[in-house]
Chain A
Amino acid sequence: DTAVSQTPKYLVTQMGNDKSIKCEQNLGHDTMYWYKQDSKKFLKIMFSYNNKELIINETVPNRFSPKSPDKAHLNLHINSLELGDSAVYFCASSQVGTIKSTGELFFGEGSRLTVL
């Protein structure tokens, strides 16, 4: 059973299109995240949700809109895709307050987005 699963794993699309990446976790965690790994390989946080409530929004362009229908799902919708949006997007989850006891974020396998 995959703990954090995201779809699709690969996405190739044209500039200007709108696309979505879905994420689901079956760990019972109350906090979910989207991280972006850019061409320089840095993993940077974009958003986090706790029990469907947005708690972190790291100055991401408003073309990016996360949506959390319930605490097990956090989807990422991107409007008007640009070349610079090409990256690997990782979904992750944790139980709030446990990072410093267990140290763990559980990551999905990543979704590689290529914008042509």
Chain B
Amino acid sequence: DQQVKQNSPSLSVQEGRISILNCDYTNSMFDYFLWYKKYPAEGPTFLISISSIKDKNEDGRFTVFLNKSAKHLSLHIVPSQPGDSAVYFCAATDSSNTGKLIFGQGTTLQVKP
């Protein structure tokens, strides 16, 4: 029973265009959402997060949107760069504050020059 799902295993975009990565969740107790980026042979690294009290958080080229009613979040990267090519994981946590994150299965983004 996967509580966080990323239904697109892969995405390919042209350099300079927008990349949109999607994530759905089922647990209404989740109140904090995160995106992690992972290069091959490395561990995931934190990218951006959003609290459930917000619907948008922006950091440079990266923006995360949260639609609580739809239990859906998305990561927008604009403009996309070849160095953004990586696996992107969506994650969620609840109010327990134990640090336990529930991850999706990741989306592989390829940005073509």
Contact = CB atoms under 8 A, between A and B. Distances in A.
Interface string A82-116: 00000000101010110110111111111000000
B100 A45 contact: yes
Nearest to A108: B43
Contact of B41 (A40, A97, A109): A109
A31 B43 contact: no
Name, among A41, A55, A94, A103, the residue most crowded by chain B CB atoms within 10 Å (CB to CB). A103
Given A42-B2, A99-B93, A100-B93, A110 B43 contact: yes
B43 A56 contact: no
A99 B99 contact: yes
Nearest to B2: A42
Interface string A36-51: 0000111111001000
A55 B51 contact: no
Contact of B97 (A40, A100, A102, A103): A100
B43 A109 contact: yes
Interface of B: 2, 32, 34, 41-46, 48-49, 51, 87, 89, 91, 93, 97-106
Given A56-B100, A100-B51, 16 more contacts: A43-B89, A43-B101, A44-B103, A45-B100, A45-B101, A48-B100, A55-B98, A90-B44, A94-B99, A96-B97, A96-B99, A100-B93, A103-B32, A105-B44, A107-B45, A110-B41
